[in-house]
Amino acid sequence: MSIPARTRQEWQALDAQHNLHPFTTFKEIVDKGSRIINRADGVYIYDVDGNRILDGMSGLWCVNIGYGREELVQAAARQMRELPFYNQFFQCSHPPAIELARQLTEITQPHINHVFFTGSGSESNDTVLRMVWRYWSVLGQPERRIVISRKNGYHGSTLGGASLGGFGVVHEQFFGPIPNIVHIGQPYWYGEGADQDPAAFGLARARELEAKILELGPDKVAAFIGEPVQGAGGVIVPPETYWPEIQRICDKYGILLITDEVICGFGRLGSWFGADHYGVKPDLMPIAKGLTSGYIPLGGVLVGDRVAGVLKRDDDEFFHGFTYSGHPVACAVAAENLRILREEKIVEHVRDTAAPYFAERMSELAEHPLVGEVRTRGLMGAIELVRNKATRERFPAEANAAMTCREHCFRNGLVMRAVAQSMIVAPPLVITRAEIDELVDKARRCLDLTARDLGVH
Ligand code: PMP
C-alpha cells in the first residue's frame, strides 16, 4: 500500500499543515486536530484509534448501500482494466455510460428518458441552469431566465450551485447570488410556522412561488428548483400540501419544475426519487451521491421529454460538459450499485421496514426535555433542540447546543450532524432494526449528556 502507517497525532499534524478542508474554519483544524477515519464496514466507520462509530449520516448522505461492498470494487477494477478513461465529447461514447443511462431511465418516471452525466451534485445543478437557459432560448423566449429557489435550500458549492442555495452567509463570501436567481421562503413549519396549521402553512409557502412569479412577470420566469426534503438545511420535511401546490403553480405558468434529488434520489425516502414520493412530475432531476453510494464521484441530470425534445432539435452545440462527464469507471460502479439496490430490494426495505421502524423509534426522543420536535421522512430525520418545549424557545447561540451534542455523539460512537439548533441523521439504507435501536439509544444518551452540560433537567 502506498499510504504509510502513521499515528493519529502524526496524521493530525500533517493534515493541519497541508490539507484545507471543505466547509471548515481552517483555524479550528490547527487548534483541535481532525478526526481521522481510516476504514469502514456496513453502517460503521472506524477511526485510526480503532473506535467503531455508527455512521448516522451515510458519509455525506451518500453511502446508501453501506460500506465494504466488494462487488463495487470489482466493477471498478474490471472497468479500469478495460477502459479506464474515455470522454463523451466530439461524438464519442462508451458502453458503461450508455448502459447506465439506459438503466437509469428504467427507474425514473416514464417521461424521463435522458441523462446528462457530470462529476458531482454541484456540477449537476450548474448543468441544470445551463439547460434551463438553453431550453428557453431555443424556444425563442430567452427573456425567461429567472430561476426561483428557496431560502435555506442547498444545491452545491460551485457558483451556480451556491447561488441556487439559499444561505445568505454563503452568498456574502462570493458577492452572490449570480444574476437571475431569486429565493422564496421554505416550508419549515416547526421553525417558521408559528401557530399555523401545518397544511395551511404548506400551502402559504407554496403560494409564495405564485406571488413571486406574478411579481417578476410570468414571461420572465424559467424554472423552480427545490429539494423534495431539504437536507443540509436541516431535514426540512414539507407539509403534505406543499408539493402538489408547487406542481399546480408550475403547470399554470408553464415553468420548468426541478427536484434536486442529490440526497433524496436512490431510495432515501423509500422511493427511487423524492419526486415519486411526493407525486410530482419534474422536468429535470439533478442526481449524485447515492448514484454510486459515494464509492466514486459521479453525478448527472435526469432530463424529461419536454426539455430533451427541445435540446435535441437545437442546431447549435450545447457548450457545456466536463472531462469526467460519464467517466467509465464511475458509470460501471454506478451500474453495479443500481444492481444491488434493485436485487436486494433496498428501496423496498426502506419503505416497508427501515423507515417505519426508524420513525417509531425516533419519535420516542420527542419526550426528552431538550427536544422540541422529532421529524422523519424515509431514512432522514431531525431532532430540534429547545430550551422550552412549550414556547419553542431556543438556546442562545453561544450555548453551542447542537455542537455540544455532536461532540458527545462522536465520543459515544455515533455520527449525527449539527445544523443550527438541530441534530440530523440519515443512516445507510441497509440499516437493520438492531442498528436503528443502537442509533436511537446512543442519540438519547448524547441528548442526556448535552442536557447535563446545558443545565437542563
Ligand atoms: N444538491 C443537494 C440537495 C445536496 O445535498 C448536495 C450536497 N450535499 C449538492 C447538491 C451538491 O453535491 P456535491 O457536494 O456532490 O457537489
Q: Tell me, what's the pLDDT at 410?
A: 96
Confidence category of residue 450, pLDDT binned at 50, 70, 90: very high
Based on the domain organization, do 188 and 254 belong to the same domain? Answer: yes
Based on the domain organization, do 225 and 313 belong to the same domain? Answer: yes
How many helices (H) does the chain have, and how many strands (E)?
18, 14
Better pLDDT: 33 or 426: 426
Based on the domain organization, do 212 and 197 belong to the same domain? Answer: yes
Q: Tell me, what's the pLDDT at 1?
A: 62
Question: Distances in Å between the alpha carbon of 78 and those of 81, 182, 329, 332, 387?
Answer: 5, 45, 9, 9, 55
Q: Which of 343, 367, 387 is where one domain is finished?
A: 343
Is the CB of 154 inside a 6 Å radius of any atom of ligand 1? yes
Is the CB of 186 inside a 6 Å radius of any atom of ligand 1? no
Is the CB of 155 inside a 6 Å radius of any atom of ligand 1? yes
Based on the domain organization, do 386 and 402 belong to the same domain? Answer: yes
Based on the domain organization, do 85 and 46 belong to the same domain? Answer: no
Based on the domain organization, do 383 and 327 belong to the same domain? Answer: no
Q: Tell me, what's the pLDDT at 457?
A: 75
Task: Look up residue 57 and give its three cell numbers.
Answer: 449520516
Q: Which uninterrupted H or E stretch holds 358?
A: helix 355-363
Q: 385: domain range?
A: 35-65+345-454
Based on the domain organization, do 93 and 199 belong to the same domain? Answer: yes
Q: Which of 279, 311, 343 is where one domain is finished?
A: 343
Based on the domain organization, do 173 and 234 belong to the same domain? Answer: yes
Q: Which uninterrupted H or E stretch holds 163?
A: helix 159-164
Q: Does position 321 have pLDDT exceeding 80, yes or no?
A: yes
Q: State the distance from the centre of ligand 1 to the C-alpha of 181, rounded, in angstroms.
A: 18
Interatomic CA distance for residues 285 and 118, integer angstroms: 13
Confidence category of residue 456, pLDDT binned at 50, 70, 90: confident
Based on the domain organization, do 129 and 42 belong to the same domain? Answer: no
Specify if 124 maps to a domain: yes
Is the CB of 229 inside a 6 Å radius of any atom of ligand 1? no
Q: Domains in the chain: how many in total?
A: 2
Q: Does position 428 have pLDDT exceeding 90, yes or no?
A: yes
Q: Does position 173 have pLDDT exceeding 70, yes or no?
A: yes
Q: What is the CATH number of the domain that holds 197?
A: 3.40.640.10
Q: State the distance from the centre of ligand 1 to the C-alpha of 262, rounded, in angstroms.
A: 6
Contact 127, 116 (CB under 8 A): yes
Q: Tell me, what's the pLDDT at 27?
A: 87
Q: State the distance from the centre of ligand 1 to the C-alpha of 180, rounded, in angstroms.
A: 21
Based on the domain organization, do 291 and 324 belong to the same domain? Answer: yes
Torsion of the alpha carbons at 21, 26, 32 and 34, rounded to the nearest 10: 0
Based on the domain organization, do 209 and 327 belong to the same domain? Answer: yes
Q: Which of 343, 366, 400 is where one domain is finished?
A: 343
Is the CB of 288 inside a 6 Å radius of any atom of ligand 1? yes
DSSP labels for 240-263?
TTHHHHHHHHHHHHT-EEEE--TT
Q: What is the CATH number of the domain that holds 355?
A: 3.90.1150.10
Task: Report pLDDT digits (tens) over 52-102.
Answer: 999 999 999 999 999 999 999 999 999 999 999 999 999 999 999 999 999
Is the CB of 232 inside a 6 Å radius of any atom of ligand 1? yes
Q: Tell me, what's the pLDDT at 49?
A: 96
Q: Tell me, what's the pLDDT at 231?
A: 98
Average pLDDT, integer, range 2-13:
94
